[in-house]
């Protein structure tokens, strides 16, 4: 997974996709086991566009104690077969404890499931 976070390139060194329950897709990737992006899609039915907000969530954790929760954005799943989930995303949202705003753009993923 990689993305542009507040104008800086961010790239994960590990990640995964999983279906922990029916119709619920989790996407997770971290860099140096410090910063991470986690997304959860409720009502997952396969490839398509999923608007973030409500039960569809995204979080960026910067590794310095700041967590940002998406208030808007989209996750697009382009492929989900042969154990691979691919797609792209963007989102923005405020810091959990009032620590500014995060803008995550140009996100893409190719994760094993």
Counting Cα atoms < 13 Å in the Cβ hemisphere of 9 gives 1
Each residue of 48-102: pLDDT tens digit?
999 999 999 999 999 988 999 999 999 999 999 989 999 999 999 999 876 799 9
What token pair was written down for 54?
């409500």
Residue 68 to residue 46: CA distance in whole angstroms: 26
* Residue 4 C-alpha from the chain's centroid: 12
Residue 96 has a pLDDT of 82
pTM for this prediction:
0.94
For the chain, which residues make up each domain, given as ranges?
Answer: 2-112
């Amino acid at each position: 997974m990689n993305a542009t976070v507040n104008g800086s390139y961010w790239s994960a060194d590990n990640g995964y996709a999983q279906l922990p329950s029916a119709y619920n897709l989790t996407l997770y990737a971290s860099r140096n086991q410090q910063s991470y992006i986690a997304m959860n899609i409720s009502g997952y039915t396969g490839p398509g566009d999923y608007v973030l907000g409500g039960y569809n969530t995204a979080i960026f954790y910067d590794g310095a104690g700041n967590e940002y929760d998406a208030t808007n954005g989209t996750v697009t799943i382009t492929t989900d077969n042969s154990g691979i989930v691919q797609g792209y995303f963007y989102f923005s949202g405020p810091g959990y404890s009032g620590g500014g705003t995060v803008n995550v753009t140009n996100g893409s993923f190719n994760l094993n499931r």
